[in-house]
Amino acid sequence: MVEALLNQILEKLVELQSEIDQMKTKLATKEDLAAVATKGDLISIQQAILETNRIVKNIELNQERHERILDVLSKRSIEHEARYQRLTASAGKEN
């Protein structure tokens, strides 16, 4: 009878140990928690993203402005080249 009771206690202890082991595997460790970003970290990340978006928009606006300037300069260059060709052609006829 004592032996049967001890066996029941032992079985219950084994069962409890198994449950404790399962709980340990499910619990987050301190290292796991440290790896998770805090609210402050998330706010900082959001601010950095917003700042990056603002910078990218400024770059895009500058790029568009530069493209328009390059178009104007290209047209002027073509006009100057045409004038130069006409001047050299007319100077060649005079000689």
The proportion of the chain whose per-residue pLDDT surpasses 90, expressed as a percent, equals 56
> What mean pLDDT, rounded, does the chain reach?
88
pLDDT in tens, 22-59: 888 888 777 777 777 777 888 888 999 999 999 999 99
Amino acid at 38: T
Give the pLDDT confidence score for residue 5 in this predicted structure: 83
Q: Per the confidence metrics, is the pTM higher than 0.75?
A: no
What's the pLDDT band for 69 if we cut at 50, 70, 90? very high
d(CA 21, CA 87): 94
Question: Rounded to an integer, what is the distance from CA 76 to the centroid of its chain?
Answer: 41
